[in-house]
Amino acid sequence: MIGKPITVGKDPVGIGVNELTNTIYVANSGDNSVSVIDGAGNKVVARVMFNIKPFNSGYVVCDNTTDKGKWNAPLGKEFYIYSGSGCTAKPYPGFGFIS
């Protein structure tokens, strides 16, 4: 069965699959990029990392576009998030974030 197309970078030329994590990597020669696809969700993801300084001044909440739920993002660790997800920094009382 063929599903709906997944948009990747310009001029894809190669593909790699990590069967353990069900992650697909597409090399795009037209824009010198690599698209990362979650094989379970059939969606492009982005690798992100959030740091908050000082570390105990708050947290980051992200939405999960799969089930529309909210979850606290890990801090100081790289992870993948679906394209189109939104994340918001939430300061603890007495702190504020500027960027």
How does pLDDT run along the chain (99 residues), one tens digit per residue?
A: 567 888 898 999 999 999 999 999 999 999 998 999 999 888 888 888 899 888 889 999 988 655 567 888 888 888 888 877 888 899 999 998 887
Quote the pTM value: 0.66
**Which pLDDT belongs to residue 68?**
63
**Which pLDDT belongs to residue 81?**
87
**Which pLDDT belongs to residue 11?**
95
Q: Show the CA angle centred on residue 92, arms to residues 79 and 64, nearest 5°.
A: 35
**What are all long-range contacts of 19-23, with beta carbons under 8 Å and residues at least 24 apart?**
none
Closest by Cα among 74, 73, 97 to 85? 73
74-95 b/e (C-beta count within 10 Å ≥ 16 → b):
eeeeeeebbeebeeebeeeeee
